[in-house]
Each structure stands twice: as structure tokens, then as C-alpha cells.
Amino acid sequence: MEKMTPFLSVIIPCFNEETNIKTNILSSVATFLSSQSYKSEVIIVDDGSTDQSVKLLGKFLTDKTNWMLIKNPHRGKGNTVVTGMLAAKGEIVLFTDFDQATPIAEIVKILPYFKNDFDVVIGSRNSQRQGAPLFRLLMARGFMILRTLILGLDGIDDTQCGFKAFKKDAAVNIFSRLKVYGDKNKEVTGSQVTAGFDVESLFLAKKLGYKIKEVEVNWHYVETRRVNPIADSLNGFIDIIKIRLNSLKHEYDQI
């Protein structure tokens, strides 16, 4: 008997998330989704974790029939998310951070906009970046100015919230065209959490004519050693330049 297509696919990238797994953070995701009226699937994509993440996930998924784990070599968060987005079968595809800085329950604020003909609906933290240090807020503001000036991404206040949903056809069209973060063979070191992935995705969404809606969501600041504000900001700026050059060379017109 053919399985029913899920309405919602949830993509969760994982890189050395042993601590979060042990806090049972995934149980809150499972509990929420099981309480909804629609069918869902969860795809966890592991980015070559070197801790006990894969082993612990294997145990957690034992009785989860609508969950799956994809094991990737270490290619960075962007490539990890792309893998999940292209593997998803749902009508709506969401990617969300493993630490649930934006809780999965915030999807209830996102889904109604797809009924209003929006193709991409993204979470925004702008009026309530609870707990974020002042220097992070200032850097975020500076980055917003740069990507607006260089890429013309006006009308979007927060490109970096890790809570973004797409209609399936839009997801395939956008994520199969990525250039800066579309190289599946690119080797990386560290966690590679950079701003360029989100920016390239939204830049392509606008370039392809998709309707984008930004929705305020609950979000709390989670301190992590994986984020290096100076290095990540520099890498984000370099990515913006790469995106602009790719666009000028019409590389995003190819698929």
C-alpha cells in the first residue's frame, strides 16, 4: 500500500549535537508533531559528527516511523540542509535548528501564509532577540545593511533566523541552484555556520520571483562555541560578494 504524502517535512541539520540529544530536545519536536492533524516527516541530516550523535540518534529513532536519519560526510551546515530539503517529500518543507532556538510549535504562525499564495515563509527575530549580546545585535545590523546594498535584499529584515519554510516545488528550484553552498564535494573544517547560506537561498527566491513572507517568531539566544562572530561575519561578507559575482555571470540561470 502506497504511503500518504506528508503535508510537512521538517529538516534538522546535526553536527556534534550529543549534548542537545541528551536533553531530549527532539522529544518536544516529536510530541508537537504527533499532536497535529496533518501528516509529517522529520529528516535529520548528520554532517559527519565526530561525537556520539549518530549512535544516540539511532536509539531515539528506533520507534519513530515517520523520522529518518541521513548520514553525510562533513560538508558544513548549508550542504547539510540542502541534502534534507531535496530529500523531503512534504508539500511544505521547513528547516529548523537542532537546539530549537525557535521552537517547532512556531510553525503554527508560518503555515497559514501558504494559503495566501506565499511560496517562502521565514521566521524573524527582529523585535525580540531575547538574550542576544549587544555586539551580536550590532553585527547583525551591519550585515543587514551590507547585504541590502550589495544584493538588493530589501524588504527582509532578518535573513538569518534558522526557521524557514518553502513550498516543495520552490524548495527544489531554489536549493538545486545554489552555487556558493551547492558544491557537494567541498570539504570543510569546523561547524561552518555562516550567513551566506541563508542569504543565497533568499536571494535566489527573490530572483526566481517567489513570494516571500517574513513572520515574527519566538526565539531565544543559545550560546555556542561553534559561532565565531568575527570570522563568521567576514565569511558572510565574502559570501555576499560571491553571490553577487555569480549573479552578474548569470550562473544562477543555469540548472
pLDDT number for residue 42: 98
Does the structure show a pLDDT above 90 at 246? yes
Better-scored residue on pLDDT, 70 or 150: 70
pLDDT number for residue 224: 55
Rounded Cα distance between 120 and 113, Å, is 9
Distances (CA, A) of 144 to 70, 100, 148, 160: 33, 23, 6, 10
Binned at pLDDT 50, 70 and 90, residue 1 comes out as: very low
**pLDDT tens digits, residue range 211-230?**
999 999 999 876 655 556 66
Do residues 42 and 10 make contact, with C-beta atoms less than 8 angstroms apart? yes
Rounded Cα distance between 57 and 17, Å, is 10
- Grid cell 544562477 — which residue? 252
pLDDT number for residue 192: 56
**pLDDT tens digits, residue range 23-42?**
999 999 999 999 999 999 99
pLDDT number for residue 28: 96
pLDDT number for residue 12: 98
Query: To the nearest 5 percent, what fractions of the chain are helix, strand and coil?
Result: 45, 15, 40
Distances (CA, A) of 21 to 82, 102, 221, 232: 22, 16, 18, 25
Strands 92-96 and 120-124: unpaired
Does the structure show a pLDDT above 60 at 135? no
C-alpha angle 11-12-13 in degrees, rounded to nearest 5: 120
Does the structure show a pLDDT above 70 at 188? no
What residues are paired with 59 via a beta bridge? Answer: none
pLDDT number for residue 94: 98
Q: For the residues 176-198, what does the mean pLDDT come to? A: 75
Do residues 32 and 59 make contact, with C-beta atoms less than 8 angstroms apart? no
Q: Please report how many Cα atoms fall inside a 13 Å half-sphere around the Cα of residue 203, on the Cβ side.
A: 29
Q: For the residues 171-177, what does the mean pLDDT come to? A: 97
Better-scored residue on pLDDT, 136 or 200: 200
Residue 215 is inside which H or E element, if any? strand 212-216
| 180 SS3 class | coil
Rounded Cα distance between 19 and 52, Å, is 9
Better-scored residue on pLDDT, 230 or 5: 5
Does the structure show a pLDDT above 80 at 101? yes
The amino acid occupying position 186 is K
Look up the CATH superfamily of 8-253: Spore Coat Polysaccharide Biosynthesis Protein SpsA; Chain A (3.90.550.10)
Does the structure show a pLDDT above 90 at 11? yes
Rounded Cα distance between 106 and 94, Å, is 11
Residue extents of the structural domains in the chain: 8-253
Q: What is the DSSP string of 121-151?
A: EEEE-TT--BT--HHHHHHHHHHHHHHHHHH
